[in-house]
Amino acid sequence: MKLTSAIVGALAALGLAAGAATAEECGTITLGAAISLTGKYATNGIHAKNGYEFAIQKIREHGGVKIGDKCYNFKVIYYDDESKGDRGATLAERLIQQDGVQYMLGPYSSGLTKAIAPVTEKYHIPMVEAEGASRSLFNQGYRYLFAVLSTSEQYLASAITLAAEKAKEQGKDPSSVKVAVAVENDPFSLDIRAGVLEDAAKYGMQIVIDEKLPRDLSDMSAILTKVKLVKPDVLIVSGHSKGAATAVRQIGEQNVKVPMIAITHCEAADVTGNFGEYANDILCSTQWAETLKYEDPIFGTAANYEREFKAAFPEYADKKVPYQTAQASAAVYVFKDAFERAGTLDKEKVRDAIAATDLMTFYGRIKFSEAGNNIAKPMVLRQIQNGEYNVVAPSEFASHKLNWPRN
């Protein structure tokens, strides 16, 4: 409750500062979102909701959505899906049937998106989602589903490329690289594994450890002992925030030395805050970082987005703005752009306009494939260097050099 009122307060303050005059004359476009405000995805659900709200506010400040000579502002009807798929699907029905919503923003997580997509598809409601990365979302032939983020098999595949580059620098053949993979047994992490194995196979690398982490992982010393014995060149771990926390903690405690360690969910597990120097030189994948050199006319640069978002949501003041928030804002921006290009509120025309999106944003370039996933934005790898997250790959956007080998 407190949080909500804080958000409302912050937004009200922003609204006053930006001049309420434009808000009066503009119409309203209602978007719907079932999002996890309680349950296990609540933390990230709220990050996403804040991202939506911030984007709506910024778009209003910039004169709203211009369709013909009329202007519109976005409004979102939110329901709490309690982090449960069946609830999400029911709420999507309710948004469309009872509230008459014509356009949807996505929920948090691939699982929830998977639950909602059949409903939006049935009613031909365009949905731009920002938090479902599983590639299984994009091989169902969905016509009305669009995702601004990179799909999950790309999350750590770039680490393999990086390892191959390093091997070449050392005068070795990339096929001599040994890879150890430990990922959770859920669709998202298995996608990551698939991406890694695919790229490793391309270079002819050898997979020496290939383990699935249990859902309630709290101890992976068995795997790390094996890592110490078989000495791989790359260690890949993905198991949401518990995987990141357990891995970093035990890699430190057991003094595991692998030249390159790449994991996901570093920020969610706050590995730098919790485990300090244990986290050093670990590679973390991210959809977005505020140091990237992306820019657009609404949000400015990535760094500017970070700054203004923190001003609007003071509870983020002493932490990094999570990428979940940035991509949520980008999804709203895609809607604005599509409405303006379509020049109408007709949902089929808007759907076609979304499909034709080719937009540079503070979050990266957005261009959808036939299947609806964003194919223009690369995944980013950051390395934790003395407690700081520094972008090291892809090299054209990198701000820092890779520390290799890790020790």
Partner 1 sequence: MDQILFNLGLLVDYPVVNLKIIIDGVMIGALFALAAYGLALVWGVMNVKNLAQGDFVIAGGYVSWALVRTGWLQSIGLSDNIAALIGVPVAFLVMAGIGWIAFRTIIVRVIERDVFTSLLATFGLAIMMAQILNLLFGSDTQSLKLEYDTLYFADGLIDVPIAKLVGVCMAAALALGVILFMKNSRMGQAIRATAQDARAAQVLGIDTDRVYAFTFSLNAAICGAAGAIIVMVWVIQPFYGMTYSIRAFVIVTAAGLGNLPGVIAAGLGIGAAEQYGSHIFGISYQQAIAVLLLLLVLFVRLMQQRRKRQVLQ
275 binds partner 1 (CB under 8 A): yes
19 binds partner 1 (CB under 8 A): no
269 binds partner 1 (CB under 8 A): yes
What is the DSSP pairing of strand 364-367 with strand 283-286? unpaired
Q: What span, in angstroms and rounded, lies between the C-alpha atoms of 54 and 328?
A: 9
Cα 279 to its chain centre, rounded Å, is 21
> What sign for the dihedral angle of Cα 347, 348, 349, 354?
positive
- Quick note: the x/- pattern for partner 1 over 173-192, rule CB under 8 A, is ---------x--x-------
Q: What span, in angstroms and rounded, lies between the C-alpha atoms of 181 and 201?
A: 13
Q: Closest separation between CB of residue 321 and partner 1, Å?
A: 16
Query: Among residues 73, 90, 140, 254, which is the contact residue for partner 1, using CB under 8 A?
Result: 254
Q: Closest separation between CB of residue 7 and partner 1, Å?
A: 16
- Quick note: the x/- pattern for partner 1 over 64-103, rule CB under 8 A, is ----------------------------------------
Q: Please tell me the count of residues contacting partner 1 according to CB under 8 A.
A: 43
DSSP codes joined into one string, 239-281: -HHHHHHHHHHHHHHTT---SEEEES-TTTTTHHHHHGGGGTT
Q: Closest separation between CB of residue 16 and partner 1, Å?
A: 31
Show contacts with partner 1 in window 216-245 (CB under 8 A). Answer: 216-223, 225-226, 228-230, 240-242, 244-245
Residue 208 CB coordination number (10 Å): 17
**Contact 176/120 with Cβ under 8 angstroms?**
no
DSSP codes joined into one string, 102-167: -EEE--SSHHHHHHHHHHHHHTT--EEESS---GGGGSS--SSEEE-SPPGGGTTHHHHHHHHHHH
Q: Closest separation between CB of residue 259 and partner 1, Å?
A: 17
Binding segment (CB under 8 A) for partner 1, from list 14-22, 94-102, 155-163, 251-259: 251-259
Q: Closest separation between CB of residue 43 and partner 1, Å?
A: 5
Q: Which one, 182 or 235, has the nearer CB to partner 1?
A: 182
Q: Which one, 173 or 219, has the nearer CB to partner 1?
A: 219
- The token duo for 339 is 């409405």
Q: Closest separation between CB of residue 98 and partner 1, Å?
A: 27
User: Residues of 248-259 as b/e, b for ≥16 C-beta within 10 angstroms?
Assistant: bbbbbeeebebb
Show contacts with partner 1 in window 38-67 (CB under 8 A). Answer: 38-43
Residues that bind partner 1 (CB under 8 A): 38-43, 182, 185, 210-214, 216-223, 225-226, 228-230, 240-242, 244-246, 249, 253-255, 268-270, 274-276, 278
